[in-house]
Structure 1
Amino acid sequence: MTAHTISEIPPAPAASEVNTSGAPPVPTSLALFKAFFLIGLTGFGGVLPWARRMLVERLGWLSNREFAELLPLAQLLPGPNVANIATVLGRQYRGAKGAAIAVFGLYLAPTIITVGVGYAYARWGHAAITAHLFAGLMPAATGLVIATVLKLVTSLPRGAASIVLVTATFIAIAVMKLPLLLVLAVLGPLGTMAMLRRAREE
């Protein structure tokens, strides 16, 4: 278990100030907009890998463990995962205004690009070169997702319980095709109890 949850991130200097405390900086509203705008702008092939890279590796707003803990919450809520993460972080740092700014930044560039691509696809979507273009992008998108999964796996607690839960989740979703919400509703409490039991033993 982490020493603090996502709702208990300790306060730190503003993003524009020098951070000497070692704590993650509290971003300004402009910083939230820029971060999620870049996530939306560069998130080709799936936004989640780019969101993790931006929030964990580049900005340090979340640790790898905190991102892995926030992701199940985002999956349980209705709507896209990264939009839910933007809402939670924006609300955490800058209240309702921050949540709105983060989500607006996330969707601004994709909305403009999608409208343009949709217009182009309506005109040239049946061309052979278009089919080859999409076929070439698929392996790259798959690689991004796999790379993100591998990085998230490294943040899991070590032990048999984690291995069993990961395996059971993979079988339930990839093999048995069960709904994600049902899988999380069953395995989520089991995982929580396993981690609580481990914490008591330690």
Structure 2
Amino acid sequence: MPDATAQRPTPLQLFLIFTRIALTSFGGGLSGWFLREFVQTRKLMSEEEFLNGLAIAQALPGVNVTNMAIWIGYRMAGRNGAIASFLGIIVPPAFLVVAIGSVFASFSKYELSHVALDGAASAAIGLSLAMGLTAARRVPRKLFPLAVMAATFVAIGILQWPTLWTVLGAGSVSVAVAYAGR
């Protein structure tokens, strides 16, 4: 539940929040940091609102985390918040990636650098898993949504059907059934 007394961040504050998250996160799992920052810590939105935004961000073309940052920024501070959030999640990390890439290229011959990357990848997988479990808790425990999830997994993971057509088909059926049930 959002805290009614919580003050919404300004565009500058959003830029700094997203810059901090982007500069301290490795690999995937950024949406888990967004959840912690805006739902659990700052209480600016409910978990349900956040997960709805995540679903929208994942459905849109482009990078999910960037879409999510734009959505949160717009929700918190309108157009300027969306722009500030986008710049915070993209620009400072881009400079850092170029710098780290240059340094890593000179250290790539050492085994320790590969061990460090494996550790960062493990942490990113853990964050992604935590986000997935949070989202799975919110899925209605009804037969149809579980059947759609299982069918999508089988179609893409086992039968190797094209992801785009599978998601469009399963998503369309799922939305139509949910809409009809309201």
Q: Does 1:71 align with 2:75?
A: no
Aligned partners of 1:65 and 1:156 also within 8 Å: no
Q: Does 1:156 align with 2:139?
A: yes
* Equivalence for 1:146: 129
Shift of the 66–111 alpha-carbon distance from structure 1 to 2, 3 Å rule, reads same
Which string of whole-angstrom CA distances, capped at 9 and with x for unpartnered residues, describes residues 150-193 of structure 1? 01111112311121122122223333444443333111122222
Q: Does 1:28 align with 2:15?
A: no
Shift of the 147–92 alpha-carbon distance from structure 1 to 2, 3 Å rule, reads closer
Aligned partners of 2:32 and 2:127 also within 8 Å: yes
Aligned partners of 2:19 and 2:93 also within 8 Å: no
Shift of the 131–168 alpha-carbon distance from structure 1 to 2, 3 Å rule, reads same
2:114 to 131, 144, 164: 131
Q: TM-score by structure 2 length? A: 0.84
* Equivalence for 2:168: 185
Shift of the 128–179 alpha-carbon distance from structure 1 to 2, 3 Å rule, reads same
Percent identity among equivalent residues?
30
Please give the alpha-carbon distance, in whole angstroms, between the structure 2 residues aligned to 1:55 and 1:170: 30
Shift of the 65–176 alpha-carbon distance from structure 1 to 2, 3 Å rule, reads farther
Paired AA for residue 78 in structure 1? P
Q: What is the SS of the residue equivalent to 1:143?
A: helix
Aligned partners of 2:27 and 2:124 also within 8 Å: yes
Worse-superposed segment, 57-66 or 121-130? 57-66
Gapped regions of structure 2 (runs ≥ 5): none
Shift of the 90–119 alpha-carbon distance from structure 1 to 2, 3 Å rule, reads same
Aligned partners of 1:42 and 1:50 also within 8 Å: no
Which string of whole-angstrom CA distances, capped at 9 and with x for unpartnered residues, describes residues 70-92 of structure 1? 22321232221011112223233
Aligned partners of 1:24 and 1:62 also within 8 Å: no
Q: TM-score by structure 1 length? A: 0.77
Please give the alpha-carbon distance, in whole angstroms, between the structure 2 residues aligned to 1:177 and 1:97: 42
Aligned partners of 2:71 and 2:82 also within 8 Å: yes
Greater relative contact order (Cα < 8 A, sep 6+) = 2
Aligned partners of 2:26 and 2:121 also within 8 Å: no
Please give the alpha-carbon distance, in whole angstroms, between the structure 2 residues aligned to 1:88 and 1:161: 29
1:41 to 23, 32, 55: 23
Gapped regions of structure 1 (runs ≥ 5): 1-11, 13-18
Q: What is the SS of the residue equivalent to 1:154?
A: helix
| 1:90-129 pair list within 5 angstroms | 90-129=73-112
Aligned length, in residue pairs: 180
